[in-house]
Structure 1
Amino acid sequence: MSAQEILLEKKEGIATITLNRPEKMNAFTLEMIDRWVNFLQECQQDDAVKVIVLTGSGKAFCTGGDLELLEKTAKSTPLASKNFIWKHIQKIPLLLWEVIDKPVIAAINGTAVGAGLDMALMCDLRFAAESARFSEGYIRLGLVPGDGGAYFLPRLIGIAKALELLWTGDFIDAREAHQLGLVNRVYPDDKLLEETYKFAERLVKGPEVAIRMIKRAVYQGLRMDLRAALDLISSHFAIAQFTDDHREGLKAIKERRPPVFMTEDK
Structure 2
Amino acid sequence: MSDLEWSVADGVAIIRLNRPERRNAFTLDMVREWAEYLRLARTDPDVRVVVLTGTGNKAFCSGVDLSSISNANPHLTPLERKSQLHDEIHRVALELEALDKPVIASINGAAVGAGLDMALMCDLRVAARSAKLSEGYVKVGLTPGDGGAYYLPRLVGTSKALELLLTGDFIDADEALRIGLVNRVVDDDDLADATRALAAQIAAGPPVTIRMIKRATYQSANIDLRTALDLISSHFAVVAATDDAAEALSAMSEKRTPNFTGR
* TM-score calculated relative to the size of structure 1: 0.95
Partner AA of 1:72 in structure 2 = A
1:95 aligns with 2:95: yes
Shift of residue 252, structure 1, vs aligned partner: 2.4
Could you say which residue in structure 1 is the equivalent of 2:119? Answer: 120
Q: Is the 8 A contact 1:108 1:127 kept in 2?
A: yes
Residue aligned with 1:18, SS? strand
For residues 24-47 of structure 1, give each alpha carbon's deviation from its aligned partner in whole angstroms, at most 9, with x where no partner exists: 001111111111111111111111
Give the secondary structure class of the aligned counterpart of 2:45: coil
Q: How does 1:90-169 map to 2 (within 5 A)?
A: 90-97=90-97, 99-169=98-168
Q: Distance in 2 between the 1:30 and 1:264 partners? A: 35
**SS where residue 64 of structure 2 aligns?**
coil
How many corresponding residue pairs? 261
- What secondary structure sits across from 2:2 in the alignment? helix
Cα shift readout 1:122-168 (whole Å, capped 9, x = no counterpart): 00000000110000000001100010000000000011110000000
**Could you say if the C-alpha distance between residues 74 and 153 of structure 1 is closer, same or farther in structure 2, counting changes exceeding 3 Å?**
farther
Map Cα deviations across residues 95-132 of structure 1 (whole Å, 9 max, x no partner): 112x1000100000000000000000000000000110
Counterpart residue number, 1:83: 83
- Would you say 1:224 and 2:223 are equivalent positions? yes
Corresponding residue number in structure 1 for 2:65:
66
| Aligned residue number for residue 179 of structure 1 | 178
Secondary structure of the 2:5 match is strand
Q: Secondary structure of the equivalent of 1:193? A: helix
Q: Of residues 28, 31, 34 in structure 1, which corresponds to 2:32?
A: 34
Q: How does 1:244-255 map to 2 (within 5 A)?
A: 244-255=243-254
**What is the CA distance between 1:261 and its match in structure 2?**
3.3
TM-aligned CA deviation for residue 258 of structure 1: 4.1
Aligned partners of 1:5, 1:124: CA distance in 2, in Å? 23
Task: Give the secondary structure class of the aligned counterpart of 1:260.
Answer: coil
Residues 185-233 of structure 1 show CA distances to partners (whole Å, capped at 9, x for unaligned) of 0011111010111111111110111100000001111111111111110
Q: Distance in 2 between matches of 1:178 and 1:264?
A: 33
- Greater Cα offset, 19-28 or 66-75: 66-75
- Provide the C-alpha distance between the structure 2 equivalents of 1:184 and 1:75, rounded to a whole number of angstroms: 42
Shifted more, 159-168 versus 219-228: the winner is: 219-228
> SS of the counterpart of 2:259?
coil
Of residues 145-154 and 66-75 in structure 1, the stretch that sits farther from structure 2 once superposed is: 66-75
Contact 1:104–1:123 (8 Å) recurs in 2: yes
SS class of match (1:4): coil
CA-atom RMSD in angstroms: 1.1
**Corresponding letter in the other structure for 2:221:** L
Quote the offset at 1:91 in angstroms. Answer: 1.2
Does the CA-based 8 Å contact 1:73-1:81 persist in structure 2? no
- Residue 9 of structure 2 corresponds to residue 22 of structure 1: no
Q: Which amino acid aligns with 1:208?
A: P
Structure 1 contact 209–263 (Cα < 8 Å) conserved: no
CA–CA separation in structure 1 for the residues paired with 2:253 and 2:217: 30
Moved segments of 4+, more than 6 Å: none
* CA pair 74-215 structure 1, distance change in 2 beyond 3 A: farther
Question: Equivalents in 2 of 1:165, 1:239: separation in Å?
Answer: 41
| Alignment partners' CA distance in 1, 2:23 and 2:100 | 29
Please give the alpha-carbon distance, in whole angstroms, between the structure 2 residues aligned to 1:127 and 1:258. 30
Q: Could you say what secondary structure the match of 2:6 adopts?
A: strand
Distance 2:74 2:241 in 1: 54
Query: Is residue 207–residue 262 contact of structure 2 (8 Å, CA) maintained in 1?
Result: no
What 5-or-longer segments of structure 2 have no aligned partner? none
Is the Cα–Cα contact under 8 Å of residues 248 and 259 in structure 1 kept in the other structure?
Answer: no
CA distance, structure 1, for counterparts of residue 123 and residue 36 of structure 2: 19
